Structure 1
Amino acid sequence: MSLWGAVLVAGVGCYLLKLVGLSIPARVLERPAVSRVADLIPVALLAALVAVQVVGDGRSLVADARLAGLGAAVVLLVLRAPFLLVVFGSALVAALVRLL
């Protein structure tokens, strides 16, 4: 299959997935369990993306300055620091670890 064929198949698949989501009856979506799962899916996806970006390096796992930056971000978030402070603080920690 060519690259454009794969792109077209993926596009049609995404459209059909969206169509299935729009055709679900409202009574199903109003159930508490469905609502709870729908609220937690974006959080789980974001956590997975962060984990892959922090400890992934191609096909291997690495522990480097990115992990220290993530740890600093977690500490700052637990302390309820403003978002900009979390971003700059974690970048500063990662830069300092790379410097060492």
Structure 2
Amino acid sequence: MTGEWTLVVALGVIAIAIRAAGPLLLGDWKPSRRAQRTLHMVAPAILTALVVLQLFTTGQEYRFDARLAGLAAAVVALALRASLMTTVVSAVLATVIARALLGQY
């Protein structure tokens, strides 16, 4: 096994061990109501940060390009209460059209 695969397997085992440690160590412990509300807000905040990072940066610099058209189309589709498939397709089409018009391939 090469060094890379050894690292992948080791990280996989570590991830499984960490995931299993929570229920084993904490058992039936429940966080407080305030902690639960906070924890429910963490995932959307992290997802939003990742989307913004991917949307507005390229490498080490900020960049505004055709991806904004896709985001705008998705926001409009969501505001109109479109289905998930319609939202995704409209975002993809808007991005493709904007890239064709701007010459970005």
TM-score band by shorter chain is: 0.7 to 0.9
Match of 1:48 in 2: 49
Tell me if the contact between 1:65 and 1:97 (Cα under 8 Å) persists in the aligned partners.
yes
Instruction: Please give the secondary structure, in 1, of the residue aligned with 2:47.
Output: helix
Tell me if the contact between 1:28 and 1:34 (Cα under 8 Å) persists in the aligned partners.
no
Alignment gaps of 5+ in structure 2: none
Match of 2:66 in 1: 65
Q: Deviations over 1:31-58 (max 9, x none)?
A: 2111111111111111111111111100
Q: Deviations over 1:71-100 (max 9, x none)?
A: 111111121110000100001001111111
Give the structure-1-normalised TM-score.
0.73
Q: Deviations over 1:8-34 (max 9, x none)?
A: xx78986786577547575551x2111
The CA distance in 1 between the partners of 2:33 and 2:28, in whole Å, is 12
Count how many residue pairs are aligned between Structure 1 and Structure 2: 98
The AA in structure 1 aligned to 2:100 is L
The AA in structure 2 aligned to 1:59 is Q
Alignment gaps of 5+ in structure 1: none
The CA distance in 2 between the partners of 1:71 and 1:97, in whole Å, is 11
- Which stretches of structure 1, 4 residues or longer, exceed 3 Å deviation after superposition? 10-28
- Please, what is the CA RMSD of the aligned residues? 2.3
Percent identical? 33
User: Given the alignment of the two structures, is residue 76 of structure 1 paired with residue 102 of structure 2, yes or no?
Assistant: no
Change (3 A) 1:41 1:49: same
Match of 1:89 in 2: 90
